[in-house]
Amino acid sequence: MSEYAAPVRDMQFVLRELAALDEIAALPGFGDATPDVVEQILDESARFCAEVLAPLNRPGDVEGSTWRDGEVTTPKGFKDAYRQFTEGGWNALQFPAEHGGQGLPKLVAAPVMEMWKAANLSFSLCPLLTGGAIEALLLRGSDAQKRAYLPKMIAGVWTGTMNLTEPQAGSDLAQVKTRAVPAGDHYRIFGQKIFITYGEHDLAENIVHLVLARTPGAPAGVKGISLFVVPKFLPRADGTPGERNDLRCVSIEHKLGIHASPTAVMAYGDKDGAIGHLVGEENRGLEYMFIMMNAARFAVGMEGVALCERAYQKALAYAKERLQSREIGASGSQPAPIIRHPDVRRMLMSMKAQAEATRALAYVAAAHHDRAHHHPDEAARARSQALLDLLIPVVKGWSTETAIEVTSTGIQVHGGMGFIEETGAAQYLRDARITTIYEGTTGIQANDLIGRKVAREGGATAKAVLAEVERTAGALRDAGAANLGVIGARLAAGRKAAAECVDWIVANAGADPKAVHAGAVPFLKLCGIVLGGWQMGRAALAAQARLARGEGDAAFLQAKIATARFFADHPLAHATALRDVVVEGAPGVLALSDEQF
């Protein structure tokens, strides 16, 4: 079986050439993010992931987490790996120094996050949820809550969860029934939550649950939901875990993938009620939970990037070793490595190009997160926040849908051996399948994109982004290099297709919302391939400029241009067809009555 090797060279290229690491490092508070420091972080993270996390991926998938009498045991080696993870300070990377974090940009954390997820997706889900809970408490927690929880959670000594879903309420949080009964300076929580990632485990000494619940007399629907912090063990005055709270893990789910990640059913209030404290104000819980949700959605998008890379690496290693059939057009009768067969090369190029495109778009989004929070100019912060808001559903939805395609292609490269679990290729597809579902399905991301991010503001941010895409297309056409000219032409056609969709959505969202939403997911995919193609075009321009200056590894830079050309000729070529699906495809979607299905 192939080993995981973090693609540090490509990560560094994207950080510097596309995401403007030097500009992010110059923002207030990020002075420590020097090129040398970032290089050391990436190299050490790559080593940790290769030596500690990746070797546990396959055994963890086979063993899985186990539940017994309310207690959950993670697979062999996970507890020690988590100890090394926290001792290495990895959990604290992007969080504020005032609470014990390292205060580094999200842009620096993004490639590190990708490495964790590519090496061992199930393991990485624990810090993912902890990070989202930290974000919510940082922005909406009281001073007392911050003192009690943030240092421990940032250090990773305590972990965090997000408790939204209930048996009767999936994505429709208006149906949440968990109750929060006032009891002096706290509340008593009663109810059940499902699909709680790392809701119970043996990795940390305490688990801090953020729980959505309703107070007595709260308004109906989503306007009556509040957010509560409900720890497994109530903190003592000295900050150590104290009395066990009235909550328990009823069971863990048996899943298609991510077997080592315990997905818990949690019961609150079997006895007197679990003690919880209100976060922020009553009835604003959904607003606060979206802080966690957006952090989690970006992180799940990074799962898509990571799975693309991991499946590609595995398929590539197999294709170089597997001898099968005579090479087309070659003399002799000896079987050749399958990487020499044109269709296998097509599949590998598809995997490579989509891994690089999703990575580039995600890192650029991370850079806008840093600008939105740290740029000294208010107008610049607002522009980056608007762009980040537009990109989050694309990064989440497109990257994860792409991961399903890429991991499935990885199995195809392996042929029949890919269908055999012992090969290991199938795990990536099984693990990828959940990524388009949790933290909001692709349909939810797409509805958010066309509703909140395009139609509501008349397409202003989308049009501004597409203007940047057109400028890049023009620069490619004017570059004077054959490959770059073709990339520019394809990108210009993709931009035109996306722009026509934006205009159609803005014009029809009010009068015919069902027709607009019928094309939401195809529009999200269109945005992904156009914006991903934009980043690939920018990468080709940067690589060509380096080659012209005689800088860097010529073979690597030439491969960047060739990969961008492949992306333009293959994924990006679908843009015009997707435009037709979005603008003209609604009648077919809505044609049948319920009874006709």
320 domain residue, yes or no:
no
Q: Considering 260, 286, 312, which residue would you say is the last residue of a domain? A: 286
Same domain, 100 and 209: no
354 domain residue, yes or no:
no
**Residue 210 belongs to a domain with what CATH number?**
2.40.110.20
Burial 239-250 (b: 16+ CB within 10 A, else e): eebeeebbbbbb
Q: Considering 100, 134, 154, which residue would you say is the last residue of a domain? A: 154
For residue 191, give its domain range. 159-286
Q: What is the pLDDT of residue 484?
A: 98
Q: What is the pLDDT of residue 279?
A: 97
- HEC letters along 412-455: HHHHHHHHCHHHCHHHHHHHHCCCCCCCCCHHHHHHHHHHHHHH
402 domain residue, yes or no:
no
Same domain, 212 and 260: yes
Same domain, 199 and 121: no
363 domain residue, yes or no:
no
Count the domains in the chain. Answer: 3
Same domain, 80 and 167: no
Same domain, 64 and 172: no
Same domain, 195 and 215: yes
Same domain, 113 and 175: no
Same domain, 118 and 236: no
19 domain residue, yes or no:
yes
Q: What is the pLDDT of residue 333?
A: 79
Quote the mean pLDDT of the chain.
Answer: 96
Q: Considering 286, 306, 327, which residue would you say is the last residue of a domain? A: 286
Name, in order, each residue with C-beta under 8 angstroms of 472's C-beta and a sequence gap of 6 or more. Answer: 488, 491, 534, 537, 538, 541
551 domain residue, yes or no:
yes
Per-residue pLDDT of the chain (597 residues; tens, 9 = 90+): 458 999 999 999 999 999 999 999 999 999 999 999 999 999 999 999 999 999 999 999 999 999 999 999 999 999 999 999 999 999 999 999 999 999 999 999 999 999 999 999 999 999 999 999 999 999 999 999 999 999 999 999 999 999 999 987 766 666 789 999 999 999 999 999 999 999 999 999 999 999 999 999 999 988 999 999 999 999 999 999 999 999 999 999 999 999 999 999 999 999 999 999 999 999 999 899 888 888 899 999 999 999 999 999 999 999 999 999 989 988 877 999 999 999 999 999 999 999 999 999 999 999 999 999 999 999 999 999 999 999 999 999 999 999 999 999 999 999 999 999 999 999 999 999 999 999 999 999 999 999 999 999 999 999 999 999 999 999 999 998 889 999 999 999 999 999 999 999 999 999 999 999 999 999 999 999 999 999 999 999 999 999 999 999 999 999 999 999 999 999 999 999 999 999 999 999 999 999 999
Contacts 24+ apart (CB under 8 A), 50-54: 50/3, 50/4, 50/5, 50/6, 50/119, 52/81, 52/84, 52/85, 53/81, 53/116, 53/119, 53/120, 53/123, 53/124, 54/3, 54/4, 54/119, 54/120
pLDDT digits 0-9 by tens, 8-50: 999 999 999 999 999 999 999 999 999 999 999 999 999 999 9
Same domain, 168 and 181: yes
Task: Using alpha carbons, list the distances in angstroms from residue 542 to 16, 168, 224, 304, 564.
Answer: 10, 51, 51, 25, 11
**Residue 79 belongs to a domain with what CATH number?**
1.10.540.10
310 domain residue, yes or no:
no
Same domain, 130 and 177: no
pLDDT digits 0-9 by tens, 387-444: 999 999 999 999 999 999 999 999 999 999 999 999 999 999 999 999 999 999 999 9
Nearest-angstrom CA–CA distance, 497 and 494 = 5
Q: Which tokens is 308 given?
A: 């693309």
Active site residues: 439
Q: What is the pLDDT of residue 175?
A: 79
294 domain residue, yes or no:
no
Same domain, 181 and 165: yes
Same domain, 130 and 191: no
